[in-house]
Chain A
Amino acid sequence: MIPKNGTSNVVTQPPKRIRIAQIESGLAALWAQFNQVNSGGHAVVMRACMSNLIIYCDTPQEAEIISQEIAPIVDIHPARILLLVGNANPSAGPLEASIAIYYTALDDGWQVCGERIDVISTTVGSDRLPSVARSQLVGDLPTTLWWASQRPPPTGGEVFFQLAELANQIIYDNVGWLNPAQGVAIMTRWVAAKQNTQIVHNLAWRRFAGWRKLISQVLDPQAAPNALEDLHTIEIAHGPHALPMTWLLAGWLASQLNWQAVDGKRLSDSELVWRFKKNHQNIKIQVKRLPKGDPLIYHLLFDWSKPGHAGRICFERLENERIGIVAAMSSVPPRAFSAHVPERSTLVSAQLAQRNRDKIFENALKSSNAMTAVFQQ
């Protein structure tokens, strides 16, 4: 029986060890074997493939988690997956490979929606990984590098730079970065150096897309006249490891609303503050890390009150993946919204279909970097 993966419609088999030189023929053999076993060779097995996806992890533990995410990714976005692990323990030699195929059932046969090639290497042997990737990509298709390491991509050195050369798009995730300020600075420099040649995407950006949409709507001039001009205080509370995402959120607001970062400082181990200026308006963003929780934004308050005019809206993350407007702290009617936080695999599969650079993200990144520059460590 072929296991079905989670809620996706995809079935697969356990990865099969193979010599690197035989990966392509091994995949073809798996395809033919599947056809024989499941239909006696009578049904049609087709392949759908939209992209190459190179995934780089530092450790086997990271790769194990990623393994569970491949089925839902290829269910949405059929692809050839190259899962590369940099600091592993191959049983012999510096590199070791295995392959697997993912299928979805059609009415009258099967469709290969994913071909997975795992290559693990020793730390020393990791510089060979790009050469394997180079030979295993499907031609004529876009290639995405998902840098799943917890280090900012450029700190990965030669492995990153060579893999990035193969890709049209680079996906990374700044949630969990140990030093967000340093990471933002490194990424900003690297993105600027790419000069429009590649798409660079931070999963955190897509993760708080729901927030961006909600904020843009509730502060819309039609719904809240003058809120965008008169905004003077923002309070954000986030869960552990979500500071980089919060940094980016603040960067987005600053870039879109033309705020200049004036200064920023740490108030305590769990609190920091930035000040911005626009014309004669001062804007303060106060950020607080909650002692526990998921890496999410839990509380967000916008204040554009003036003497004699109440203007506040306060959001809280509620149970069951909802965001609510807190009645007591808001001058707008309370409501609750569906705020499902997509799985990482959903974010990746959605981003794979993206073919354009996101200038709004890049501007947000630049503003985040400007915030880094004025921040007193």
Chain B
Amino acid sequence: MPDTKHDNPLTAGINITQAPQPCTLVIFGGGGDLTRRKLLPAIYNQALEGELPANFAALGFAIEQMDDGQYRDFARKGIEQFSRQPLEPDYWSDFERCLHYLQGSFDNPDAYVQLAQRLKEIESNFGIPGNRVFYLAIPPALIETCVCQLKAAGLVMPIDENSPFSRIIVEKPIGRDLESARKVNATLSQNFHEQQIYRIDHYLGKETVQNILAMRFGNAIFEPLWNAKHIDHVQITVAEEEGVGTRAGYYDSAGALRDMIQNHILQLLTLIAMEPPWIMDADVIRDHRQDILNCLRPITSENFDQHVVRAQYGPGFHHGEDVPGYRREAGVAQDSITETYIALKLFIDNWRWAGVPFYIRTGKRMPKRASEIAIQFKSVPPILFNANHDQPLEPNVLALSIQPNEGLSLRIATKLPGTKLKIFPVKMDFRYGSTFGEQSPEAYERLLLDVMAGDATLFMRRDSVESSWAWVDNILNVWASSRTRWIPEYAAGTWGPLEADRLIESDNRKWRML
């Protein structure tokens, strides 16, 4: 629910569930890569489509030395390169007026005094009633400093329906284990109310991810089958083509488990597995997602090898070109055992999912970029069309593709034309891009508007972050207690190590070919 209320009958029926409210977006790290690639293009697209509040301004706040004019050039270049819609020169001059910049050090109290002063000027110029959204697009180590300084400078307003709102957006990673996540959350909580905190995971802003709920609870045919009685197993794959690239510094200390599983993939899992919410309310939906995290069976040292495989990419080919192995990447230690791939088998110990394995894999330098959730249904009985034990029928699979082609497909068995009774699997495909012919907004566009509207449905709550870390910590602890300096390797451009194949094949199942 929004944390401020006011009565405006003219907003009734306007095609937005909750109207984004007039505000200033303050981007900490306003000169950084995330801002240039994602945030500024997102607000530009929203402005172009008339989605932004009429009274809106953005202020980049960072250490880099820039003035407003230079910042607008910086924004323009980012938008030209990364925006979903091309930059329209006719509109640019109007848009750029809402962009501002303030140079300052995040740990300098004087910078926050200047920030407060600058915000007042901007709000006066743009008719903004003091509402502020602080976006922390900064390294995790700086979160505490920025949050405490904001509070000390009086820039955090209390929750009161009659006063302007202050909201803060925090990027992942929230900590690097349970203890550090708790520390970050404690810092946030000391300075902001939980209702004011938006922990962003951009995966949750993707169209297909949102469509998971629509598909599950907007169709009568899926939900009756959505349980252990009918589902054989679930596979979640998040494959990246790229290597570690320029993120070696962060990635080598994080690895795939922290980088992908703890946040993106566990959040996807909760949406796939949650019970039906009774209302589209942020807290109700987040409660239901939290229930799934509470039911995750812990992976312990006793059953570890049957549930976890980690690996690292070695040298190989990417689109036919030689690429180095992970340890030869710039910025990576030559004896690193950081996993660039992880495969997991996990269970959700509740009534609906008892005994259904969820196989998860994610890695870098895979053959292609692909994120998918596949629900494999149980096979039909081995009689009639499925009587041939040597050639069993392919089971039905419902696959939700998250990227790059957002959509869903259903594999069904059908008779081939002809006099003989031959059954063949056919895939029915639905793709957003080709079916609707219009672009979906980028995840950041949707999520930024949600924050301006005060809708936290697609953001992570404190308990969710901490529960997922608690579960992930079990795995980290086993690794930490292991003395081995060996990690399985897979060739760059392949689908992962043999060990991962064995993990699923030991259950008489196979990874899907994507």
Contacts and interface: CB of A to CB of B under 8 A. Distances in A.
Interface of A: 8-10, 46, 48, 75-78, 104, 106-107, 111, 113, 209-210, 212-224, 228, 253, 256-258, 319-322, 324, 332-333, 335-340, 358-361
Nearest 7 interchain pairs by C-beta: A360-B13, A216-B10, A75-B437, A320-B90, A336-B94, A217-B54, A222-B129
23 contacts: A48-B430, A48-B434, A76-B436, A106-B434, A216-B10, A217-B54, A219-B8, A219-B10, A220-B6, A220-B11, A222-B21, A222-B129, A223-B22, A228-B8, A253-B10, A257-B10, A258-B9, A333-B124, A333-B127, A337-B47, A337-B54, A338-B49, A360-B12
A359 B13 CA distance: 8
B12 to A, nearest CB: 6
Nearest to B165: A222
Contacts of A219: 8, 10
B125 interface: yes
Interface in B393-444: 405, 429-431, 434-438
B141 interface: no
A338 B435 contact: no
Nearest to B164: A222
Given A76-B437, A222-B21, 13 more contacts: A48-B430, A76-B438, A78-B435, A216-B11, A217-B54, A222-B22, A222-B131, A256-B9, A256-B10, A320-B90, A335-B94, A335-B97, A338-B94
B50 interface: yes
A221 B8 contact: yes
A82 to B, nearest CB: 20
Contacts of A336: 94
Contacts of A320: 90-91
B6 A221 contact: yes
Contacts of B434: 48, 104, 106, 111
Contacts of A228: 8-10
B55 interface: yes
Contacts of B430: 48
A167 B513 CA distance: 44
Contacts of B405: 107
B32 interface: no
Contact of B22 (A111, A220, A360): A220
A221 to B, nearest CB: 5
Contacts of A106: 431, 434
A259 B460 CA distance: 44
A210 B435 contact: no
Contact of A111 (B19, B124, B128, B435): B435
A8 B438 CA distance: 9
Contacts of B431: 106
Interface residues of B, number: 42
B50 A213 contact: yes
B9 A212 contact: no
Nearest to B428: A46
Contacts of A113: 435, 437
Contacts, number: 118
B48 interface: yes
B48 A338 contact: yes
Contacts of A258: 9
B53 interface: yes
A199 to B, nearest CB: 14
B15 interface: yes
B7 interface: yes
Interface in B438-455: 438
Contacts of A340: 48, 50
A221 B47 CA distance: 22
Nearest to A253: B10
Nearest to B435: A48
Contacts of A256: 9-10, 12
Given A113-B437, A256-B9, A213 B14 contact: yes
A332 B127 contact: yes
B373 to A, nearest CB: 20
Contacts of B95: 338
A283 B49 CA distance: 32
A104 B14 contact: no
Given A8-B437, A322-B94, A216 B126 contact: no
A218 B54 contact: yes
A10 B437 CA distance: 9
A225 to B, nearest CB: 9
Nearest to A108: B429
A337 B326 CA distance: 48
Nearest to B94: A336
A228 B6 CA distance: 12
Contact of A338 (B15, B19, B47, B131): B47
B495 to A, nearest CB: 20
Interface string B81-125: 000000000110011011000000000000000000000000011
A257 B9 CA distance: 7
A352 to B, nearest CB: 11
A170 B54 CA distance: 32
A48 B436 CA distance: 9
B127 A215 contact: no
A336 B47 CA distance: 11
Nearest to B7: A221
